Amino acid sequence: MAFMIDLRGKAALVTGGSRGIGREIAIELAAAGAAVAVNYRRSRREAESVVREITAAGGRAIPIKADVSSPADATALLRSARSAFGRLDILVNNAGIWEEASIERMTPRDLERTLAVNLKGVVYCCRAAVPALRASRTGRIINISSTAALLGEPLHSHYAASKGGLEALTKSLAVELGRWRITSNSVAPGWTVTDMTVRELRTAKGKKLLREIPLRKVATPPEVAAAVVFLASDLSSHITGVMIPVDGGYRIRR
């Protein structure tokens, strides 16, 4: 039995879609046929580059500036995305920050900044998206989590806590929104090559990490995006409330 992912006629919003994993997710959703709203906070040039790449390949995309940690911005973002395409079927909550802070040195500002983007921002976007996703009848919420939610992460306990909360949110929404055929799932990358991690991966610690991954490599953004496209498609229509780790088996060795 052969399957092909076809998202033609669907509209998606990718938060934090201008760089790294978010950029690849936006490009791959568009390649599968979806119209894509590319959210950014500061990286306007990068967001416009993503849009140009999508449109050059024959797809539809628009950039939308918004800070998802602001309830007003999140509401306006969802309204703009739905207005641009006349519908919204897929919400990918990818925007996030990863900042180092030991528990002894962590300030209230460090904690609040991480929770505001990584967890509260997802709540705000989901809340604003529900009417459109309900109207879709095939609504998809896909949260970009982290294996830190499973394993913990030293010097990044606030980040791990935000992703642990995101997993609880994902499951809760799966139960709450299932009556409207809205699925809620997460993709949890392990170490992935992005501009945020490339420096650390080149260190002795990074090289040691490679030896601990059963597949002996870190993930790439396209590998993470592939899991997102699957969850956005009809192939996952009866899957909800689950986490898909994209970590090369790292969590098993840990």
Q: Find out whether 64 and 78 touch, Cβ atoms under 8 Å.
A: no
Helix (H) or strand (E) holding 116: none
Among residues 40, 124, 159, 250, which one is catalytic? 159
Is residue 218 classed exposed, middle or buried when 0-12, 13-18 and 19+ CB atoms within 10 A define those classes? buried
Q: DSSP letters along 169-213, please?
A: HHHHHHHHHGGGT-EEEEEEE-SB-STTTHHHHTSHHHHHHHHHS
Let me know if 250 is a catalytic residue. no
Strand partners, 187: 144, 244
The CA-atom distances, in angstroms, between 187 and each of 82, 122, 149, 199, 207 are: 24, 14, 11, 23, 24
Which active-site residues does the annotation give? Answer: 159
